[in-house]
Structure 1
């Protein structure tokens, strides 16, 4: 995780906005507590909002020995522990987190005058809704993914509960941000949400530097070409497709190996599959890696692969493309809006191992084209997905949300006076 805003900014960010807002951001994960892409998103966004000159407060879950409050890159971070922090039931834990968040936010509001609440996903929805009413503030919500999309429908009581919490937060929010047109369409269909309340702002990424001489931590990769992938170890990320592709690679006696980084509930299951199918020489699940090691592994790979079955945006795609690596992604979700086939990357059929291998073989057999694709992808990421641009777009939505809320309140007052 980069600790400072990029020094490559071509102008003073403070010139891009006129208002100086006091913003309360609610999210359940924030560095160094990283579970998925949401944490990295909020870190990047909040850092650049602070760089723009806004007073940014992030309220998030505490963990281990992390300080209750600290300033990170100009962002005031406040951590709370759930009232029932040792409860093994996740929903009970989340309920306790929301209670603790609401209580802490009330304390902050006694000393600070916030202009807007910005919530991230249903996990902080209860606190966000109650604080909106208590403080009389506009509520802006970013929806990063939906339970319906992750599971291709709602199939059990747990999923139904989460779906209803998502719906409640969306309906109570004054404006919504999503990361792609794909997610915009999903919200319109699943929640019958008016288009004029949905704003599309993509995820962002920092310019990346890689240590030129990184120690060899994985001797299995020495002198071997490898295909790299990363993501949370859950079913929707599509890593089963890589395992199937590795079985074909073994049968055809190809000379490359798949390396997959990430943690999550299915990691041990994937590692077990690899062992039982005798694929240890062809696919390697390495678990959690630091940002520096991740970047080094991307830098050293032949090709990057993101085979997700469901991916609202796909920030991992930016992480591989920004390092100039030709990247193969599933033709689904937000990723198909980032990658143009044979131009800035390669598109594969989701869940189809043969399609994945066809894209890989094309890139291996056409090294000059692969290099061209990698360079083009890097140019696109640097020009369209920098946090400087994303933060400025977000501020415009925040300002519109505040103005609309004021106009609504003023209009209501006029009607009542009549």
Structure 2
């Protein structure tokens, strides 16, 4: 594709000129295919950018249950199947997905001149790098988490492979976005060549319009008060700490009941531990729930605990705080930048059940302060983490990246 300089006024949307940048987003998950928080992030970002007048195309993984193309809330969603979609080896499956993404993007490029590629994590890195080289347009990458961070080190050949793919994607990117100061420090200490190309833009959240009736969702324990948590059921989310806290609560005859929602590879293991340790009257993993159900559980809970061992940002904390619930989070990663202790929430030591129980006890013994903390938390989230604001900041970074790339080509 020829390198043609596009003046900045032609890239910025307005009511007279219509759409500005044509953006190709690559993400391996997108609603209704939801694996984790990545899907919701890309959905909210792309929808709000489409509302602002940008032409947003998302290429993502598909299946026989979903259409190959769909216009969703102004976003053009293209779904592809990996060329080896039945392969049970995840790395091979991802490789096939990237090939399918690149082939689909090449077909789109016959009719659309994209200004920018926006990749989300290493999972789509191969396709993103290939398309950048093919089209000679800039690549923006959002790093949501790293393999080293998730596993507290690189210990296996698979982890080493993923870590190398992350480095390749970062090296090839014109601009990097991370969600917190913690993640910026993490990337600059772990990867090469990123110190001058990192922007910090937090994740976002919107206040729900309505919530479902929790009594209909949880009839067997309708009158029982509970402490709620949610997240992907993996080690780094720290739910083992909640199991230990439930055990201590049982030993000390504390009337605490923990409810944890989410799916993931550790779900059966944690449920077995609860049965083996006879903790079924103190803690419960309820599995996957919808966003509407999550809001209902949050709204009806006493308080929220997000006990992550590793958390680049902490979207689950925002989703609780926006509903005005006093929220306890681990003093780690991006969450310690969201919560101010005893003001907008409480901080616990990561992996420390005693610390968790101390924060819970404080909130239970001080209901007026707990309510004030919940209200302050809601106000700070509404003012700083709305998606309209975050999409605007991202759009500015995108426009700057396109202009800087084109100026560089002319020099």
Q: What's the TM-score, normalizing by structure 1?
A: 0.93
Partner of 2:10: none
Q: 8 Å contact 1:121–1:141 — kept in the other structure?
A: yes
Matches within 5 A, 1:229-378: 229-378=229-378
Alpha-carbon distance in 1 for matches of 2:372, 2:215? 28
Deviation at 1:14, TM superposition (A): 6.0
When the two chains are superposed, the root-mean-square deviation of aligned CA atoms in Å is 1.4
Deviation at 1:381, TM superposition (A): 0.6
Q: 8 Å contact 2:62–2:81 — kept in the other structure?
A: yes
Residues 50 and 180 from structure 1, CA distance in 2 versus in 1: closer, same or farther, beyond 3 angstroms? same
Residues 337 and 19 from structure 1, CA distance in 2 versus in 1: closer, same or farther, beyond 3 angstroms? farther
Q: 8 Å contact 1:210–1:299 — kept in the other structure?
A: no
1:396 is aligned to 2:401:
no
Q: 8 Å contact 1:26–1:58 — kept in the other structure?
A: yes
Alpha-carbon distance in 1 for matches of 2:187, 2:384? 24
Q: Secondary structure at the match of 2:226?
A: strand
Residues 212 and 40 from structure 1, CA distance in 2 versus in 1: closer, same or farther, beyond 3 angstroms? closer
Alpha-carbon distance in 2 for matches of 1:27, 1:108? 16
Deviation at 1:257, TM superposition (A): 0.4
**Which runs of 4 or more aligned residues in structure 1 lie more than 4 Å from their structure 2 counterparts after TM superposition?**
none
Alpha-carbon distance in 1 for matches of 2:315, 2:335? 9
- In the alignment, structure 1 segments of 5+ residues that lack a partner are 1-12, 412-418
Q: 8 Å contact 1:187–1:193 — kept in the other structure?
A: no
Partner of 1:7: none
Q: 8 Å contact 2:313–2:334 — kept in the other structure?
A: yes
1:153 is aligned to 2:153:
yes
Partner of 2:226: 226
Deviation at 1:225, TM superposition (A): 1.1
Partner of 2:4: none
> Quick check: 60-69 or 353-362, which moved more?
60-69
Matches within 5 A, 1:47-62: 47-62=47-62
Alpha-carbon distance in 1 for matches of 2:369, 2:363? 7
Q: Secondary structure at the match of 2:329?
A: strand
Residues 235 and 89 from structure 1, CA distance in 2 versus in 1: closer, same or farther, beyond 3 angstroms? same
Residues 211 and 149 from structure 1, CA distance in 2 versus in 1: closer, same or farther, beyond 3 angstroms? closer
Q: 8 Å contact 2:212–2:292 — kept in the other structure?
A: no
Alpha-carbon distance in 2 for matches of 1:63, 1:153? 34
- In the alignment, structure 2 segments of 5+ residues that lack a partner are 1-12
Partner of 1:8: none
Partner of 1:415: none
Alpha-carbon distance in 1 for matches of 2:35, 2:95? 18
List per-residue Cα deviations over 1:78-137 (Å, max 9, x = no partner).
Answer: 000000000000000000000000000000000111110000000000000000011111
Alpha-carbon distance in 2 for matches of 1:186, 1:242? 27
1:109 is aligned to 2:112:
no
Q: What's the TM-score, normalizing by structure 2?
A: 0.95
Deviation at 1:19, TM superposition (A): 7.3
> Quick check: 248-257 or 353-362, which moved more?
248-257
Partner of 1:207: 207
Q: 8 Å contact 2:349–2:355 — kept in the other structure?
A: yes
Q: 8 Å contact 1:14–1:51 — kept in the other structure?
A: no
Deviation at 1:251, TM superposition (A): 1.1
Q: 8 Å contact 2:214–2:297 — kept in the other structure?
A: no
Q: Secondary structure at the match of 1:304?
A: strand
Alpha-carbon distance in 2 for matches of 1:195, 1:82? 34
Partner of 2:25: 25
Alpha-carbon distance in 2 for matches of 1:305, 1:193? 36
Alpha-carbon distance in 2 for matches of 1:254, 1:85? 49
Partner of 2:3: none
Deviation at 1:221, TM superposition (A): 2.4
Q: Secondary structure at the match of 2:289?
A: coil
Q: 8 Å contact 1:330–1:349 — kept in the other structure?
A: yes
List per-residue Cα deviations over 1:218-252 (Å, max 9, x = no partner).
Answer: 23422111000000010000000000000011111
